[in-house]
């Protein structure tokens, strides 16, 4: 069983196809691993192992194989689904006391797609309430802890998903991303998380179907596995008007060609020319790490796009999504919502039409500056988080590099800027700080060029080999001292 959890997703799928192992073998290996590590991390608070076993047995009996042979066929690979995403017959709480006992009768379209292509759902990974927060905790299930140091946060909001793949509880994890919810936990847990281009993966049932800010996406232990999962998720869905057809070439094939199709020119910034705060050691690690692309013959140049007033524009646009999603709950169930939900929603309700229009203009102006950047460079690289993982008991750090943050989203702009740019961005591990906390890079590409971001990240991963450190057993530790500005 221990050997099975150490297989990559790609290798496990290959062995499933060869009948060397069975879907049930993998489900039982995952179940044993979950029982072993879950008490230390609290990553998958809701399990559906009997449902998973039934699915595995059906596949082994030749049933539920209508999509076998299609791109992305997983053949019985177990994975986790974020607790924001409905799975039929499985408790789905959205991290909220309001829905503590909610059991949907139908799965979200992305889950239907995953299961149609041979993915087996093991359980629901933990998330902050309604996915709002950079640290994974809620009143229903409590806190999820970082396996590299269980005194630290795993990030948010796909924190449980990141921990589930880092520890070997699952081979893949589905998640969502608005201001960094796949990339930040990926960095803190030294796994990989991709925010796909808007429309690349169906959002299916959301009310803000015509807004590009929040997306569904994959997490994994390495980039080839991430590409495999994106091949499962990508494609047109009649439930989502922004979706479009999958590309002619698979993402797995594109990643396999990462050395032959490497990025020739790479733009890099640590802090947008001083516009964003960043931990000094994190900056030093990332400044050095990005130069490793030069070992593959890539040209790396510092370039600092003008952010303008993008942070305020992001919060203004983000708050309108909260109005769409939470206005009625704020009116009827205010006492059951956490303060961050109330703050985001009331901020949106208080915005004037002129402020909303200004934010859209600011976003468009930044997008045009990024278009100009991509005319000169193949990809754009930044740190994927401005600090390493912080105390698990905190909702967010109070300051970064001596600069006090105005709100809990204040440390998210490295990720949120790429959300506003409208393209794909992937977090890839690049090292560890003096306390052993993971640090990562964010590799971004233009809209609908997800393969370009994945190829660059895969090339970097081949150079560093950091993915070989996973899966890991959870480690107890203490919270390192906060950085003090000199």
Residue 88's CB: how many other CB atoms inside 10 A?
A: 17
Burial class (CB within 10 angstroms; exposed 0-12, middle 13-18, buried 19+) of 57: middle
Angle at 137 between CA 132 and CA 140, to 5 degrees: 105
> For residues 461 and 427, what is the distance between their CA atoms, to the nearest angstrom?
11
Task: With beta carbons less than 8 A apart as the criterion, state whether 336 and 393 touch.
Answer: no
163: nearest Cα among 80, 92, 222, 227: 80
Catalytic residue among 82, 124, 262, 338: 82
> For residues 141 and 144, what is the distance between their CA atoms, to the nearest angstrom?
9
Task: With beta carbons less than 8 A apart as the criterion, state whether 413 and 311 touch.
Answer: yes
Residue with tokens 């049930």, as numbered in its chain: 24
> For residues 443 and 199, what is the distance between their CA atoms, to the nearest angstrom?
19
57 labelled catalytic: no
Catalytic residue among 157, 250, 384, 412: 157
For the record, the structure tokens of 255 come out as 């990643």
107 labelled catalytic: no
DSSP conformation class of 445: E
Measured in Å, how far apart are the chain's first and last C-alpha atoms?
A: 50
**Strand 119-125 to 46-47 pairing:** antiparallel
* φ/ψ (deg, to 5) at 47: -105, 150
Report the greatest alpha carbon distance in the chain.
65
Written as one string, the DSSP assignment of 56-86 is HHHHHTT-S-TTTTSTT--SSEEEEEETTS-
Residue with tokens 């399990």, as numbered in its chain: 47
Task: With beta carbons less than 8 A apart as the criterion, state whether 159 and 143 touch.
Answer: no
> For residues 429 and 52, what is the distance between their CA atoms, to the nearest angstrom?
31
> For residues 142 and 362, what is the distance between their CA atoms, to the nearest angstrom?
38
For the record, the structure tokens of 473 come out as 């057993």
Q: Is the peptide bond before 157 cis (omega within 30 degrees of 0)?
A: yes
Task: With beta carbons less than 8 A apart as the criterion, state whether 148 and 389 touch.
Answer: yes
For the record, the structure tokens of 192 come out as 């990989």
190 labelled catalytic: no
User: Could you give the C-alpha distances from 35 to 4, 31, 429, 471, 472, in angstroms and in order?
Assistant: 15, 6, 27, 15, 15
> For residues 10 and 227, what is the distance between their CA atoms, to the nearest angstrom?
10
Catalytic residue among 181, 197, 214, 384: 181
16: nearest Cα among 123, 120, 109: 120
- Catalytic site positions: 82, 157, 181
């Amino acid at each position: 069983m221990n050997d099975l959890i150490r297989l990559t997703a790609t290798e496990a799928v290959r062995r499933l196809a060869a009948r060397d192992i069975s879907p049930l073998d993998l489900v039982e290996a995952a179940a044993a691993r979950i029982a072993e590590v879950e008490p230390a991390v609290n990553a998958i608070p809701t399990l559906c192992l009997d449902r998973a076993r039934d699915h595995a047995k059906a596949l082994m009996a030749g049933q539920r194989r209508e999509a076998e042979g299609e791109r992305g066929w997983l053949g019985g690979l177990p994975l986790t689904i974020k607790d924001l995403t409905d799975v039929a017959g499985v408790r789905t709480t959205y991290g909220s006391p309001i829905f503590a006992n909610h059991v949907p009768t139908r799965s979200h379209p992305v889950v239907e797609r995953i299961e149609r292509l041979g993915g087996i759902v093991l359980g629901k990974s933990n998330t902050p309430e309604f996915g709002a927060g950079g640290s994974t905790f809620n009143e229903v299930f409590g806190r999820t802890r970082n396996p590299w140091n269980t005194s630290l946060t795993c990030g948010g909001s796909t924190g449980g998903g990141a921990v589930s793949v880092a520890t070997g509880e699952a081979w893949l994890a589905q998640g969502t991303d608005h201001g960094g919810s796949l990339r930040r936990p990926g960095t803190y847990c030294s796994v990989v998380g991709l925010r796909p281009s808007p429309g690349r993966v169906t959002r299916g049932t959301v009310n803000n179907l015509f807004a590009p800010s929040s997306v569904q996406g994959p997490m994994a232990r390495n980039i080839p596995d991430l590409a495999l999962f994106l091949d499962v998720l990508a494609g047109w869905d009649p439930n989502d008007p922004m979706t479009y057809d999958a590309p002619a070439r698979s993402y797995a094939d594109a990643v396999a060609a990462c050395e032959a199709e490497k990025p020739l020119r790479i733009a890099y910034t640590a802090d947008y020319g001083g516009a964003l705060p960043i931990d000094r050691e994190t900056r030093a690690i990332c400044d050095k790490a990005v130069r490793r692309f030069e070992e593959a013959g890539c040209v790396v140049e510092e370039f600092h796009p003008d952010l303008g007033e993008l942070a305020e524009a992001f919060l203004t646009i983000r708050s309108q999504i909260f109005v769409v999603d939470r206005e009625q709950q704020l009116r009827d169930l205010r006492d059951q919502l956490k303060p961050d939900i109330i703050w985001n929603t009331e901020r949106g309700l208080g915005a004037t039409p002129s402020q909303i229009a200004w934010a859209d203009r600011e976003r468009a102006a930044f997008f045009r500056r990024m278009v100009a950047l991509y005319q000169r460079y193949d990809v754009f690289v930044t740190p994927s988080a401005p600090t390493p993982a912080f105390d698990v008991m905190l909702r967010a750090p109070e300051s970064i590099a001596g600069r006090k943050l105005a709100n809990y989203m204040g440390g998210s702009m490295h990720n949120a800027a790429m959300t506003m740019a409208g393209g794909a961005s992937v977090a890839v591990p690049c090292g560890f700080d003096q306390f052993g906390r993971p640090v990562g890079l964010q590799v971004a590409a233009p809209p609908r060029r997800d393969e370009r971001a994945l190829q660059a990240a895969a090339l970097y991963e081949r150079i560093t080999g950091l993915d070989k450190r996973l899966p890991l057993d959870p480690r107890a530790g203490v919270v390192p001292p906060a950085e003090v500005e000199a």
